[in-house]
Amino acid sequence: MQHIKNYINGQLVEPVSKTYLDNFNPSTGKVYSYIPDSDEQDVALAYSAAKTAFASWSITPKEQRSKYLLKIAALIEKKLDHLALAESIDNGKPLKLAKTVDIPRAAANFHFYGTGILHYASHAHSMEESAINYTLRQPVGVAGCISPWNLPLYLFSWKIAPALAAGCTVVAKPSEITPMSAYLLSEICIEAGLPAGVLNIVHGLGGKVGNAIVSHKDIPLISFTGGTVTGKHIASVAAPMFKKLSLELGGKNPNIIFADCDYDKMMHTTMLSSFANQGQICLCGSRIFVERKIYDKFKTDFVAKTKALLIGDPLHENTKIGAIVSEGHQQKILSYIELAQKEGGTVLCGGKKVTLDGDLKNGYYIEPTVIEGLAYDCRTNQEEIFGPVVTITPFDTEEEALMMANSTIYGLASMLWTGDLTRAHRMANHIHAGIVWINCWLLRDLRTPFGGVKASGVGREGGFEALDFFTEPKNVCVRL
Ligand code: NAD
What are the extents of the domains in the chain? 2-249+456-479, 253-445
> Is 384 near ligand 1, meaning CB less than 6 Å away?
yes
Please confirm, yes or no, whether 77 is among the known catalytic residues.
Answer: no
Percent of the chain at pLDDT exceeding 70: 100
- C-alpha of residue 23 to centroid of ligand 1, in Å: 17
Task: Give me the helix-helix angle, 62-78 and 152-166, nearest 10°.
Answer: 160
Would strands 131-139 and 142-146 be described as parallel, antiparallel, or unpaired?
Answer: unpaired
- C-alpha of residue 121 to centroid of ligand 1, in Å: 32
Please confirm, yes or no, whether 248 is among the known catalytic residues.
Answer: yes
Q: Which of 173, 175, 460 to mutate to test the pocket of ligand 1 (most atoms within 8 A of CB)?
A: 175
Residue 312: the pLDDT is 97
Give the H or E element holding residue 13: strand 11-13
> Is 332 near ligand 1, meaning CB less than 6 Å away?
no
Topology of 2-249+456-479 in CATH?
Aldehyde Dehydrogenase; Chain A, domain 1 (3.40.605)
Q: Is the pLDDT of residue 410 over 90?
A: yes
> Is 182 near ligand 1, meaning CB less than 6 Å away?
no
Region of 197 on the Ramachandran plot (φ > 0 left; ψ -120 to 50 alpha; else beta)? left
**Mean pLDDT to the nearest integer, 22-47:** 98
Nearest CA residue ID for atom 13, ligand 1: 206
> Is 459 near ligand 1, meaning CB less than 6 Å away?
no
> Is 148 near ligand 1, meaning CB less than 6 Å away?
yes
The amino acid that residue 143 corresponds to is A
Active-site residue among 282, 284, 384, 461? Answer: 282
Model's pTM, two decimal places?
Answer: 0.97
- C-alpha of residue 146 to centroid of ligand 1, in Å: 8
Q: Which of 180, 225, 409 to mutate to test the pocket of ligand 1 (most atoms within 8 A of CB)?
A: 225
pLDDT digits over 148-168, tens only? 999 999 999 999 999 999 999
Residue 459: the pLDDT is 87
**Mean pLDDT to the nearest integer, 167-191:** 98
Q: Superfamily for 253-445?
A: Aldehyde Dehydrogenase; Chain A, domain 2 (3.40.309.10)
Region of 382 on the Ramachandran plot (φ > 0 left; ψ -120 to 50 alpha; else beta)? alpha
Nearest CA residue ID for atom 43, ligand 1: 282
Nearest CA residue ID for atom 14, ligand 1: 206
- C-alpha of residue 153 to centroid of ligand 1, in Å: 14
**Mean pLDDT to the nearest integer, 444-461:** 94
Measured between alpha carbons, how far is residue 204 from residues 51, 84, 237, 400, 438 in Å? 21, 22, 19, 45, 39
pLDDT digits over 343-358, tens only? 999 999 999 999 999 9
Nearest CA residue ID for atom 9, ligand 1: 175
Which ligand 1 atom is at minimum distance from the Cα of 450? 40
- C-alpha of residue 191 to centroid of ligand 1, in Å: 29
Average pLDDT, the chain: 98
Size of the chain, expressed as the number of residues it contains = 480
Q: Of 243, 57, 14, 135, which is closest to residue 477 (Cα–Cα)?
A: 135
> Is 248 near ligand 1, meaning CB less than 6 Å away?
yes
Q: How confident is the model at residue 106 (pLDDT cuts 50, 70, 90)?
A: very high
Q: Is the pLDDT of residue 460 over 90?
A: no
Considering all CA atoms of the chain, what is the largest pairwise distance in Å, rounded to the nearest integer? Answer: 80
Give the H or E element holding residue 65: helix 62-78
Beta carbons of 36 and 174 less than 8 angstroms apart: no
Beta carbons of 145 and 173 less than 8 angstroms apart: yes
Residue 157: the pLDDT is 98
- C-alpha of residue 227 to centroid of ligand 1, in Å: 4
Which ligand 1 atom is at minimum distance from the Cα of 214? 20
**Mean pLDDT to the nearest integer, 429-458:** 97
Residue 267: the pLDDT is 98
CB environment 209-230: b (16+ within 10 A), e (fewer): bbbbbbbbeebbbbbbbbbbeb
Backbone phi, then psi, for 96, in 5-degree steps?
-60, -40
Which ligand 1 atom is at minimum distance from the Cα of 149? 26
Residue 86: the pLDDT is 98
- C-alpha of residue 230 to centroid of ligand 1, in Å: 6
pLDDT digits over 51-96, tens only? 999 999 999 999 999 999 999 999 999 999 999 999 999 999 999 9
- C-alpha of residue 101 to centroid of ligand 1, in Å: 20
Same fold, 2-249+456-479 and 253-445: no
Active-site residue among 248, 291, 367, 384? Answer: 248
> Is 364 near ligand 1, meaning CB less than 6 Å away?
no
